[in-house]
Amino acid sequence: MKRSYFPSRPGDPAPLAASIERRVRFEELDPLGIVWHGRYASYFEDAREALGRAYGLTYLDFHRHGLTAPIKRFEVDYARPLTYPQTVRIDCRLHYAEAARLNYEFRISTAAGEPATTGATVHLLLDAARELVVVQPPFLADFCRRWREGRLP
């Protein structure tokens, strides 16, 4: 990624990363024949889910601990439009944080490797009563400890 939405601090472990490829579908286009800007949320979610599956930090893991992780911030920067039936690669990186939050960064590239879109999402944690969780819950603290120690899959 050209610029980082979340600069790392000294001592932070490297971001976790995952990538997926997918085709632009016809139903995702706007009247101008390019991917409608609102579809990028689902593109980012596809990559977030792939990262979660790769490292054991899925939406269901949060659910099992009585938590949800709604988006607090959603940011997108467009470099070039995507069109049907283009194949794109979506790279996702999760940046380390000691707070009860998840900082994801995305890069969408064309099949030729040209950057098309970058973006970021910040997710906060809510408990079953939909109250903000301000301290990392034990399962996330354990995950981050294993991340720092280099013991993730």
pLDDT score of 153 = 86
pLDDT score of 77 = 97
Average pLDDT taken over every residue of the chain: 96
Encode pLDDT of 134-143 as tens digits.
Answer: 999 999 999 9
Integer CA distances (angstroms), 95 to 12, 78, 102, 122, 131, in order: 9, 21, 7, 10, 24
Beta bridge partners of 3: none
Provide the residue type at 146 as one letter.
Answer: R
Q: How far apart are the first and last CA of the chain?
A: 23
> If pLDDT is split at 50, 70 and 90, which confidence band does 26 have?
very high
Encode pLDDT of 37-92 as tens digits.
Answer: 999 999 999 999 999 999 999 999 999 999 999 999 999 999 999 999 999 999 99
Q: How far apart are CA 101 and CA 89, in angstroms?
A: 25
User: Which CATH number describes the domain made up of 16-148?
Assistant: 3.10.129.10
> If pLDDT is split at 50, 70 and 90, which confidence band does 3 have?
confident
Res 25 pLDDT > 60: yes
Give domain limits for the chain.
16-148
Res 21 pLDDT > 90: yes
pTM (2 decimals)?
Answer: 0.95
The two structure tokens encoding residue 151: 């013991």
